[in-house]
């Protein structure tokens, strides 16, 4: 069974957090006017804050940052086929240099990208403020949904719930 549920405010932010933390890695697309995929790159989201902003680390002098400086509009594509969870975010990106925020977001995995750790002079943070977003999310994990589908076909039992809708923060 598929339901369409548009989410707003706290419910929207809670869904963003759930999907981003579950999926973690997004295709982060800049320079959207080219529309050819060449400026999309995989990036790990560090946090979704209580305002619904999505935070990433980035190299200060990266092409991505230069593209954001030229045009703040970005798209994020999150996909977890194993859980049937998907999210697309259209947003506005901003480059931030902030030692306190770096400390807040820092994880041991970030050390792979910044040789001098949290003190690296090449660290920047990208804040993406969602302008619009759309999600698709199945209830439960793949194996459980597989067995529910088999039961549905064989017995007519309840089909797994699939939810989709707009996210407005």
Residue 27, beta-bridge partner list? 42, 77
| pLDDT recorded at residue 2 | 73
Q: Percent of the chain beyond pLDDT 90?
A: 74
Q: Is the pLDDT of residue 129 over 90?
A: yes
Average pLDDT of the chain?
A: 88
Q: Is the pLDDT of residue 160 over 60?
A: no
| pLDDT recorded at residue 156 | 56
The rounded distance, in Å, linking the Cα atoms of 121 and 112 is 15
Rounded mean pLDDT, 57-85:
95
Give the list of residues 6+ apart from residue 43 with CB closer than 8 angstroms, or none: 25, 26, 28, 56, 58
Q: Is the pLDDT of residue 155 over 90?
A: no
Task: Assign 141 to helix, strand or coil.
Answer: coil
Residue with the larger pLDDT of the pair 32 and 158: 32
């Amino acid at each position: 069974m598929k339901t369409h549920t548009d989410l707003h405010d706290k419910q929207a932010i809670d869904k963003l957090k759930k999907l981003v933390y579950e999926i973690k890695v997004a295709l982060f697309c800049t320079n959207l006017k080219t529309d050819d995929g060449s400026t999309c790159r995989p990036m790990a989201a560090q946090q979704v804050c209580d305002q619904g902003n999505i935070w990433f680390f980035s190299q200060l002098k990266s092409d991505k940052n230069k593209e954001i400086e030229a045009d703040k509009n970005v798209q994020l594509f999150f996909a977890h086929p194993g859980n049937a969870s998907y999210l697309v975010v259209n947003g506005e990106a901003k480059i931030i240099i902030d030692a306190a925020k770096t400390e807040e977001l820092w994880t041991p995995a970030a050390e792979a990208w910044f040789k001098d750790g949290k003190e690296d002079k090449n660290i920047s943070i990208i804040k993406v403020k969602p302008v619009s977003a759309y999600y698709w999310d199945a209830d439960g994990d793949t194996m459980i949904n597989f067995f529910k589908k088999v039961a549905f076909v064989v017995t007519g039992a309840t089909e797994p719930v699939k939810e989709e809708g707009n996210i407005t923060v």
